[in-house]
């Protein structure tokens, strides 16, 4: 008889089992039966939580993005100046080598597969919507402080965030020195768009 566990605990266990297999066997070679065997669950229980292995991958990406989103929330609603928030906002989105775990690197290689592009597109739209709300708030704060000049903050934030998110995905496989060029270009674009009276970066 199988253990009866809290649904969220069971869901997390399935995700952990799947990630282990994705890393060990490769995403394309891992089957739902492999995940069922690894997690020691029934097929019905797997499908209760996830419709397929692509859905598991999507939730893994969401889970690994939660710390960054949480940090951005803290930055956005902290008691600091808008300019300082912009600096911290960009810094919080960067995954530096010291922050990248083995699982994160493996997960990145999986989502870079052409077969998973549509999943990342779906995730990118969701994350862009959240980050647009945060950046809009910072812009409006900067305008009230008299340091930013943006006629349509919400719409401008949408352009800036969508560009940042989707270009980051498209350049994820580039060498770090190439990625830095895109980052510098974005910082310059951000400064010009905000119309800041003082240099931000």
- Which residues have C-beta within 8 Å of that of residue 126, sequence separation ≥ 6? none
Residue 111 to residues 3, 114, 118, 161: CA-CA distances in angstroms? 32, 8, 10, 20
Q: What is the pLDDT of residue 109?
A: 84
Helical spans, DSSP H, in 52-116 = 53-76, 82-93, 102-111
Predicted TM-score (pTM) of the model is 0.87
The pLDDT tens digits of the residues spanning 2-36 come to 556 788 889 999 999 999 999 899 899 999 999 99
Q: What is the pLDDT of residue 4?
A: 60
Q: State the greatest distance between any 2 C-alpha atoms of the chain, in Å, as a whole number.
A: 68
Q: What is the pLDDT of residue 1?
A: 41
Which parts of the chain have pLDDT scores under 50?
1
Contact 200, 87 (CB under 8 A): yes
Rounded Cα distance between 26 and 19, Å, is 9
Residue 102 to residues 14, 23, 54, 107, 138: CA-CA distances in angstroms? 19, 9, 20, 9, 33
């Amino acid at each position: 008889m199988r253990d009866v566990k809290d649904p969220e605990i069971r869901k997390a266990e399935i995700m952990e089992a799947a990630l282990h297999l994705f890393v060990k066997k490769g995403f394309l070679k891992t089957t739902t039966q492999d995940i069922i065997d690894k997690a020691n669950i029934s097929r019905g229980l797997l499908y209760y939580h996830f419709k397929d292995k692509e859905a598991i991958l999507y939730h893994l990406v969401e889970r690994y993005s939660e710390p960054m989103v949480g940090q951005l929330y803290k930055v956005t609603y902290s008691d600091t100046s808008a300019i300082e928030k912009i600096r911290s906002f960009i810094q919080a989105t960067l995954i530096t080598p010291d922050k990248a775990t083995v699982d994160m690197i493996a997960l990145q290689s999986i989502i870079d597969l052409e077969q998973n592009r549509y999943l990342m597109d779906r995730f990118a739209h969701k994350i862009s919507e959240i980050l647009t709300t945060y950046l809009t708030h910072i812009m409006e704060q900067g305008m009230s402080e008299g340091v930013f000049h943006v006629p349509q903050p919400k719409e401008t934030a949408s352009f800036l965030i969508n560009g940042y998110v989707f270009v980051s995905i498209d350049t994820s496989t580039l060498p770090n020195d190439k990625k830095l060029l895109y980052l510098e270009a974005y910082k310059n674009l951000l400064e010009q768009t905000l119309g800041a009276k003082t240099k931000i970066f």
